[in-house]
Structure 1
Amino acid sequence: MSHLKYTAKSHHLQWSLHQLSQICHHFYQNYCPDSFKHRRNVGLAKISDVSLLVLLLLQAELGITSQRHFYKICRLFPCGRLLERSRFNRRSRQLVWLVQLVRKAMNDRINPDDIAIIDSFPLPLCQPVRNQRASIFKGKADIGYNASKHLWFYGFKVHMLVTLSGYILNYVVTAASVHDIRAVRDLISGCQQSVILADLGYLSHELKANLAQEGYVLWTPLRQNMVGARRHNHWKLMAMRRTIETRFSELARLFDIEHTLARGLTGLQLRLEQIVLAYNLSYFKFN
């Protein structure tokens, strides 16, 4: 006899809401500027910035893509009943810069690796059948090709810089048609890792030479018909580079990062910042 089974969504972070609140309070006190913490009439706010930051990270933890659906869940919490939906959305978007500031400040606290990995994944905004008539983010998004799935998509492309251990150092969002090479400059800005692993999409002698002048060693596999490809494409380096694909799979499985319901650039940035910060929390220990 078969029985219905409920499988809870497993996650690499098993913190309680109380622990998440302590972490967000630590972030707010250490990274938030005093001019913002002591701004005019901040004490009259119905919900504190810390509580709002907790809710934003909780949304990423639960993998909820709809802001409307998440607001209904927030109504179950005491702090969530204090704000109207429009006010909740506005204040959430006002904290984008704070979430980004916290994420960048955390980069200085990790143990620096010698190796970083770069790659990109698609962020489609509609089904492929609607590519030609989609109008969302018109002038910002366009049509690009997803080589791994062999299909054209309309939307954006997310480029990421990840350490060998899996920590996300930086990300850049471009239109879907932008080549991966064009995002490398912005992606590795301020990167402390000297060796950068990439796939065939970044194969460029000019790019490799330019990065060498800045102190970076760019490694990409060679095509099979190129001279010295068998010796250059060492299996250990190939295996290390493929670890970023595992990180992309985790982001898609745990946070559903490849799907977004955002209809504005600020909302899209907020969603990505939420996910990246929540994902990076697993690499820290808090007392």
Structure 2
Amino acid sequence: MTEQTITIYCFIDDFFHAVGRKDDAHCKINDAELLTTALLAARYFHGNLCSAYSYMQAHHGVRRIDKSGFTRRLHSLQPQLQALFSALGQSLKELNTSSAYLIDSFPVAVCDNIRIPFCHLLQGQAYRGKCVSKRRYFYGFRVQVITTSSGVPVQFYIHAGSFVDITAFKAMEVDLPPNSRLYADAAYTCYEVEDLLRECEQIELRCCRKANSKRKDEPYMAFLKDYYRKRIETTFSGITGLFPKKIHAVTAEGFILKLILFIFAYTLAQVID
């Protein structure tokens, strides 16, 4: 765990030096230490920031600050956290010589269905979605994730749970290298989107075809799509395996921030390990 902590800290600190970000001289802990603590919380402590901070104090000599100050600074660093993930994702794309990527989504419930009328974190029917694979409804967010062919996340998009995959995909800014192949299930079927991606971005969207599809696949192509698509389910199991029984957050922004930390922590774990 010590080696992983040092590796994460060095990665964040080097990135901040590269972009010219300087720490406030009055801060007791610098930004790299704070983000390292938050990522360790997601990786090893099920998102418990207090436990991760106690570990950093005991084993790495991080100075103590109050919980509210730590949380405020963490929220203010969310743009830097997303920039860090984008930089890591860009490096992973450059190393992905196969040019094959996978996309799918997984639901994250904020509360049980029976508690929807009493939920203060989210309000409105936009967050009520359906998980077809589990045959149940949920209330919360849905996370679109693009991974490499080996299942390492390189891009994600968090949206309200009621939006289906293809609707969210149209709103998502897909940033993949030219001549990439993006494998998806039948929920992403949209011939217009496929044609636009091929003509404008040189990205081939390979969706699994339904029985009544107008664009039938050759048997070998159907096998390839089904083979690649299943790998991303293992990624989702790994990400949700980091979740606690209930993700604690006071605001919707805090809930989303913790989701970002879990996805980032899983990606770092795949890269480091």
- TM class by shorter-chain length? 0.7 to 0.9
Equivalent residue, structure 2, for 1:24: 9
CA distance in 2, matches of 1:258, 1:237: 33
CA distance in 2, matches of 1:200, 1:258: 31
CA distance in 1, matches of 2:272, 2:52: 27
CA distance 1:189–1:204, change in 2 (3 Å): closer
Q: What count of residue pairs does the alignment treat as equivalent?
A: 267
| Identical counterparts, % of pairs | 25
Give deviations 1:121-157, integer Å, cap 9, x for gaps.
1111111222355342225952111101111111111
Paired amino acid for 2:130: Y
Larger radius of gyration: 1
Contact kept in structure 1, 2:105 and 2:145, CA below 8 Å:
yes
Give deviations 1:235-262, integer Å, cap 9, x for gaps.
2320111111111011112x12895222
Equivalent residue, structure 2, for 1:223: 210
Equivalent residue, structure 2, for 1:266: 253
CA distance in 2, matches of 1:107, 1:160: 12
Correspondence for 2:263 among 262, 276, 287: 276
CA distance 1:223–1:66, change in 2 (3 Å): same
Give 1:151-170 correspondences, 5 Å limit: 151-170=136-155
Give 1:124-273 correspondences, 5 Å limit: 124-139=109-124, 142-192=127-177, 194-214=180-200, 215-226=202-213, 228=216, 231=219, 234-253=222-241, 255-256=242-243, 259-273=246-260
Correspondence for 1:119 among 101, 104, 126: 104
CA distance in 2, matches of 1:244, 1:26: 26
**Structure (1 or 2) with the greater helix fraction:** 2
Tell me the TM-score normalised to structure 2 length: 0.84
Paired amino acid for 2:109: P
Contact kept in structure 1, 2:16 and 2:22, CA below 8 Å:
no
CA RMSD of aligned residues (A): 2.9
**Unaligned 5+ residue runs, structure 2?**
none
Correspondence for 1:90 among 72, 76, 91: 72
Paired amino acid for 1:159: Q
Secondary structure at the counterpart of residue 102 of structure 2: strand
Correspondence for 1:47 among 15, 29, 39: 29
CA distance 1:36–1:150, change in 2 (3 Å): same
Shift of residue 96, structure 1, vs aligned partner: 1.7
Secondary structure at the counterpart of residue 279 of structure 1: helix
Contact kept in structure 1, 2:41 and 2:48, CA below 8 Å:
no
